[in-house]
């Protein structure tokens, strides 16, 4: 089962100010979260909380 990751609207604005290797790491972590969901462990999801839909 794939999970849906919803980005805050300002994420793209923040990503353009980061070095490319950090952007790649963030995108990779989001892909892992989409694939694995809430069981994705530290350090990728240590502060992730459920969002109201």
- What pLDDT shows up at residue 30? 87
Say how far apart CA 38 and CA 12 lie, in whole Å. Answer: 23
- What pLDDT shows up at residue 52? 57
* pLDDT band for position 41 (cuts 50, 70, 90): confident
pLDDT digits (tens, 9 = 90+) for 2-29: 888 888 888 888 889 999 999 999 889 8
* Domain boundaries along the sequence of the chain: 1-37
- pTM of the predicted structure, to 2 decimals: 0.67
Say how far apart CA 26 and CA 15 lie, in whole Å. Answer: 9
């Amino acid at each position: 089962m794939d999970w849906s990751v919803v980005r805050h609207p300002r994420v793209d604005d923040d990503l353009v100010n980061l070095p490319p290797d950090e952007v790649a790491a963030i995108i990779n972590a989001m892909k892992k979260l989409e694939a694995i969901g809430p069981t994705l462990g530290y350090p990728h999801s240590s502060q992730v909380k459920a969002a109201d839909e």
